[in-house]
Chain A
Amino acid sequence: MQHERATRPASFAITCLALALAIGFAGTAQAGVLPEDRADLLYFRYDGGGVTIDGPSVLVRKSIGEHVSVQANYYVDMVSSASIDVETSASPYEDERTQGSLSLDLLHGKSTYTLGAVKSDESDYVANTVFAGVSHDMFGDLTTISFGYKRGQNDVFRNINIGGVKQRDLTFAEEMETQSFNISVAQIITKNLLMTGQYEVITDEGFLRSPYRSIRHFTDPLNQQLAPEQYPNTRSSNAASFRAKYFLPYRAAIDTMYRYYNDTWGIVGHTGELGYVHPLNNNKWIFEGRLRYYRQTAADFYRDIFPRAEFANFMARDKELATYDAITAGVTATYEFKIERLPWLAKGSLNLRYDYMTVNYDNFRDARFSIGRFGQLPDAPLAPGTEPLYKLNANIIQFFVSAHF
């Protein structure tokens, strides 16, 4: 069974590779198009559920000749966390994650080949990812078909607090490997309608839980105790999505997206999104509104509180694995400009985006009402399992400057 599970992604990869090569060499004389040259500088801030994350991100894409385009991205997350998990079982912490990526697109006929690598570094997690892909325009450029493969090798560590100083626990080091295979098709349906479909399989193997998070279980009907989570060491998921975008007669656009997700942990997820883009004032301003709905069922081994210690082989209390729904509503304002003294700048833009996210959990209770915060019991503790359900609200702000060359 284990062997069979391992060979499925491999055979899928071989099929994709064979098709990709066949498509690539079937390229006709007419050439495809490389992505446009651009540079973006972004500042973002996420604030919700006791967690603040902010930082910059820089993205540069530049063509070298007519057949090669290079993209580089540098991204920094500065995290200050006193989330509900931290409040009930640890101390507040601050951390920083840096991520750098480099990718290369090579145009050959109507095919574009992509190769790239990503490195992400934080004090207790190091991730190295490589990826490759091919996309090909066909049927008179009405259809674009793409295949992609990604492989990640992650090292998981644990920080401990000794004498008020955060340092790495030298007795703890784990590994996790992830692979992803995806296929997508973009199709022109009419002169006003575009559609895309995408399917992605992801497999993980290794240490998949957090080294910090705990489950809770009853010791008697009125008392509880914390214990380490226990996760399976494999996970395979399928995700299929569909998008459509329609050009409206008065120069505006409406789009929609639906994604279905399931995995071997028993999670089933549904994501739906609606968007509307509207230019104003001779295209100097572009406004965009977006509404996203997400719902998932819990993992098979998730419980808010377990009946007893060692109740099952696998036990989790990560709210990411609970049953919940989330709504995110966002607006973006873009101001586009040109500077006559900079003829190499085809177009510049200033962009402000704000999103509000609200998450309602069906089976994740606010254990601060019984456990307390940072080791301090509440004045009037509630009985375990009777706390109110947890809700999370977050504000997400992005400001970015874009330059197109």
Chain B
Amino acid sequence: MKMSIRGLSVIAAALLVAGCSSIEPWVAPYDRENLADPIMTFSRAPISQDFLDHVFESREGSRGATGGAGGGCGCN
């Protein structure tokens, strides 16, 4: 686990440093129509997904890493 946390920190720091420089988006905002379509949302109904996640989590040994990746795709 220690290695995983260190690895994650390095990746996150690299992303942060890269974020400070200007990167040309390879998918332009006007090309994101398909990604902005409601059918492309990972969870179209959070209320339903939260209930099902609870059903699985209370019956399985595994837990975590099921939530949405927060913030969406930034394509709205």
Q: Footprint of B on A, CB under 8 Å?
A: 8, 11-12, 15-16, 19, 22-23, 26, 32-33, 35, 40, 42, 44, 46, 57, 59, 73, 75, 112, 114, 133, 135-146, 148, 180, 182-186, 188, 190-192, 194, 196-202, 236-241, 243, 245, 247, 251-253, 255, 259, 261, 263, 265, 267, 269, 271, 277, 279, 286, 288, 294, 296, 299, 320-321, 326, 328, 332, 334, 351, 353, 355, 359, 396, 398, 400, 402
Closest to B23 in A: A139
Q: Which of A139, A197, A247 is in CB contact (< 8 Å) with B19? A: A139
Is there contact, CB below 8 Å, between A145 and B75?
A: no
Take A200-B64, A267-B62, A296-B61 as given contacts and tell me if A23 and B70 are in contact as well, using a CB distance cutoff of 8 Å. Answer: no
Is there contact, CB below 8 Å, between B69 and A196?
A: yes
Q: Which residues 14-71 of B sit at the A interface, judged by CB distance below 8 A?
A: 15-16, 18-20, 23-27, 29, 31-35, 37, 39-40, 42, 44-48, 50-52, 55-56, 59-71
Extra pairs beyond A112-B70, A190-B27 (17, CB < 8 Å): A26-B16, A139-B18, A142-B27, A143-B74, A148-B67, A180-B64, A184-B69, A185-B69, A186-B69, A186-B70, A188-B35, A201-B1, A239-B62, A239-B66, A247-B37, A261-B64, A398-B51
B18–chain A nearest beta-carbon distance, Å: 8
In the assembled complex, 17 residue pairs joining A and B whose CB atoms fall closer than 8 Å, in A order, are A33-B76, A112-B71, A141-B75, A142-B25, A144-B69, A144-B74, A188-B27, A188-B35, A198-B69, A201-B5, A245-B42, A267-B61, A269-B60, A359-B59, A398-B52, A400-B45, A402-B45
Is there contact, CB below 8 Å, between B71 and A198?
A: no
Is there contact, CB below 8 Å, between A137 and B55?
A: no
Given the complex of chains A and B, what is the CA–CA distance between A123 and B70 in angstroms? 33
Take A141-B25, A271-B62 as given contacts and tell me if A182 and B73 are in contact as well, using a CB distance cutoff of 8 Å. Answer: no
> Within 8 Å CB of B29, what residues of A?
140-141
Instruction: List the 8 shortest-distance A-B pairs measured between CB atoms, nearest first.
Output: A140-B25, A141-B74, A269-B62, A135-B71, A146-B70, A200-B64, A239-B64, A239-B65
Is there contact, CB below 8 Å, between B16 and A23?
A: yes
Q: Which of A32, A238, A279, A321 is in CB contact (< 8 Å) with B4? A: A238
A280–chain B nearest beta-carbon distance, Å: 12
Take A46-B55, A145-B12, A198-B65 as given contacts and tell me if A351 and B45 are in contact as well, using a CB distance cutoff of 8 Å. Answer: yes
Chain B CB within 10 A, most for which of A192, A194, A252, A267: A194
A262–chain B nearest beta-carbon distance, Å: 9
> Within 8 Å CB of A240, what residues of B?
65
Q: Which of B50, B52, B72 is in CB contact (< 8 Å) with A33? A: B72
> Within 8 Å CB of B12, what residues of A?
15-16, 19, 145, 183
Take A202-B64, A238-B4 as given contacts and tell me if A137 and B71 are in contact as well, using a CB distance cutoff of 8 Å. Answer: yes
Given the complex of chains A and B, what is the CA–CA distance between A320 and B57 in angstroms? 10
Q: Which of B9, B20, B24, B26 is in CB contact (< 8 Å) with A15? A: B9
Given the complex of chains A and B, what is the CA–CA distance between A396 and B52 in angstroms? 9
B20–chain A nearest beta-carbon distance, Å: 6
> Within 8 Å CB of A277, what residues of B?
39, 44
Given the complex of chains A and B, what is the CA–CA distance between A309 and B4 in angstroms? 39
Is there contact, CB below 8 Å, between A42 and B48?
A: yes
Given the complex of chains A and B, what is the CA–CA distance between A12 and B39 in angstroms? 35
> Within 8 Å CB of A396, what residues of B?
52, 55
Is there contact, CB below 8 Å, between B34 and A191?
A: yes
